[in-house]
């Protein structure tokens, strides 16, 4: 399998972007962030209020890829074995056999992930980081590529369980859709007037093609000054007075990888400081824990990341 060049990455991702854009109205930046995650083999947490289109976005991305797809509707009574699978005794065969759960798919949509209990949420940790699952002491690799697209509602608290920091840190990006503009909402009415365009989506990118472009992104050049800039940004979050828990080393790697993917989407084989700055909030904000006093003052992790971006010097061409 030969990895395509930068032009090939652009052409491939443009097909997916156009396909998803048939369903999602005016969400180009969000679609690009999901494409960045696809190129980096990373997981995405889509967080926003109900009715914004979180599940629709995840379905549109999944249907645009020629990969196996399963959906998990998280509920408080969902057990870990319900998503990983179980060994059961087959009387006809006279032996124990494994019945795979929905986690053994290439694209997994975890709808309302914060409705699952901590025990069930913990079953995702090994899968998301190590891309394998362990059932009854038997470890099984997950299919490649493997991507979790999870959604959660941040405003409804009844019957929900906040995601632990360990699980949040395993999401490459957290994205928010936001309400559409008036013009976009009118366009949405016209688009969905007669039928749901999601029903007509066909795959435009095979699993093998996706693996190839993921490999190609690793050839995008990152200058030494930009590597130092990424490290300084992440370290600055750890010593900020308003933060109890800053960005982890995993976040440093995530910012490095996503910056390369964003450069490839733009048709470049080199990273610019603007690539790093554009991805700092979606990569870092959900991995940080603010102090109690900071939360009482109503400040957000996004505001802290913006503050760090304004204080850490940006490298300039020498």
Q: In the predicted model, what is the mean pLDDT of residues 126-131?
A: 90
Note whether 203 and 238 are same-domain residues: no
Closest CA to 11 of 264, 313, 297, 293: 264
Where residue 1 falls among pLDDT bands split at 50, 70, 90?
very low
Closest CA to 308 of 261, 246, 265, 251: 246
User: Among 169, 193, 219, which residue terminates a domain?
Assistant: 219
Note whether 204 and 214 are same-domain residues: yes
Domain that holds residue 157: 1-219
Note whether 41 and 169 are same-domain residues: yes
> 């060049």: which residue's tokens?
5
Where residue 310 falls among pLDDT bands split at 50, 70, 90?
very high
Note whether 180 and 289 are same-domain residues: no
Q: Tell me the C-alpha distance between 192 and 180, whole Å.
A: 15
Lowest mean pLDDT among 101-105, 128-132, 150-154, 259-263: 150-154
CATH number of the domain at 16, please.
Answer: 3.40.50.300
Q: In the predicted model, what is the mean pLDDT of residues 137-142?
A: 88
Q: Tokens representing 166?
A: 């360990």
Note the pLDDT of residue 186: 92
- Give yes or no for residue 4 having a pLDDT over 80: no
DSSP the chain: -PPP-HHHHHHHHHHHHHHHHTTSSS-HHHHHHHHHHHHHT--EEEE--TTSSHHHHHHHHHHHEES-EEEEE--TT--HHHHHEEEEEETTTTEEEEEE-TTSSSEEEEETGGGS-HHHHHHHHHHHHHSEEEETTEEEEPPSS-EEEEEE-SS--TT--PPPHHHHTT-SEEE---PPPHHHHHHHHHHTSSS-GGGG----EEHHHHHHHHHHHTT-B--HHHHHHHHHHHHHHHS-TTEEE---HHHHHHHHHHHHHHHHHTT-SB--HHHHHHHHHHHHGGG-EE-HHHHHTT--HHHHHHHHHHHSPPP---
Bigger pLDDT: 262 vs 2: 262
Note whether 271 and 192 are same-domain residues: no
Note the pLDDT of residue 309: 95
Q: In the predicted model, what is the mean pLDDT of residues 123-145?
A: 88
Max mean pLDDT among 18-27, 78-87, 177-186, 222-231 falls in: 222-231
Note whether 224 and 142 are same-domain residues: no
- Are 287 and 247 within 8 A, CB to CB? yes
- Give yes or no for residue 314 having a pLDDT over 60: yes
User: Among 219, 238, 263, which residue terminates a domain?
Assistant: 219
Q: In the predicted model, what is the mean pLDDT of residues 194-206?
A: 84
Note whether 189 and 253 are same-domain residues: no
pTM score, whole prediction? 0.88
Note whether 170 and 84 are same-domain residues: yes
Number of domains in the chain: 2
Note whether 193 and 288 are same-domain residues: no
Note whether 226 and 211 are same-domain residues: no
Mean pLDDT score across all residues of the chain: 88
User: Among 219, 243, 266, which residue terminates a domain?
Assistant: 219
Note whether 254 and 316 are same-domain residues: yes
Closest CA to 71 of 58, 87, 57, 89: 58
Q: In the predicted model, what is the mean pLDDT of residues 186-207?
A: 85
CATH number of the domain at 309, please.
Answer: 1.10.8.80
Note whether 127 and 237 are same-domain residues: no
- Are 133 and 202 within 8 A, CB to CB? no
User: Strand 289-290 relative to strand 243-245: parallel, antiparallel, unpaired?
Assistant: antiparallel
């Amino acid at each position: 399998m030969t990895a395509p060049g930068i032009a090939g990455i652009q052409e491939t991702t443009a097909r997916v972007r156009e396909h998803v854009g048939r369903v999602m109205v005016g969400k180009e930046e969000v679609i690009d962030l999901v494409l960045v995650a696809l190129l980096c083999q990373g997981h995405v947490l889509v967080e926003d209020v109900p009715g914004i289109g979180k599940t629709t976005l995840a379905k549109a991305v999944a249907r645009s890829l020629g990969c196996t797809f399963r959906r998990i509707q998280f509920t408080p009574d969902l057990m870990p074995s319900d998503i990983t699978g179980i060994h059961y005794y087959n009387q006809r065969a006279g032996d124990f056999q494994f019945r795979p759960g929905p986690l053994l798919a290439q694209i997994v949509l975890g709808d309302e992930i914060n409705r699952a209990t901590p025990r069930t949420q913990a079953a995702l940790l090994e899968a998301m980081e190590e891309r394998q699952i362990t059932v009854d002491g038997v470890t099984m690799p997950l299919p490649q590529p493997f991507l979790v697209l999870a959604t959660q509602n941040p405003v409804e608290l009844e019957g929900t369980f906040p995601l632990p920091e360990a699980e949040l840190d395993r999401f490459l990006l957290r994205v928010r859709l936001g309400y559409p503009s008036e013009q976009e909402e009118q366009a949405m009415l016209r688009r969905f007037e007669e039928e749901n365009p999601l029903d007509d989506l066909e795959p435009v990118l095979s699993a093998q093609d996706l693996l190839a472009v993921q490999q190609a992104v690793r050839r995008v050049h990152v200058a030494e000054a930009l590597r130092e800039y990424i490290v300084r940004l992440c370290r600055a979050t750890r010593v900020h007075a308003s933060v109890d828990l800053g960005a982890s080393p995993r976040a440093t790697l995530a910012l490095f990888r996503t910056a390369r993917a964003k450069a490839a989407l733009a048709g470049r084989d080199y990273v610019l400081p603007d690539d790093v700055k554009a991805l700092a909030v979606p990569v870092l904000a959900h991995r940080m824990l603010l102090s109690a006093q900071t939360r009482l003052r109503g400040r957000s992790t996004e505001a802290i990341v913006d503050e760090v971006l304004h204080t850490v010097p940006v490298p300039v061409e020498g």
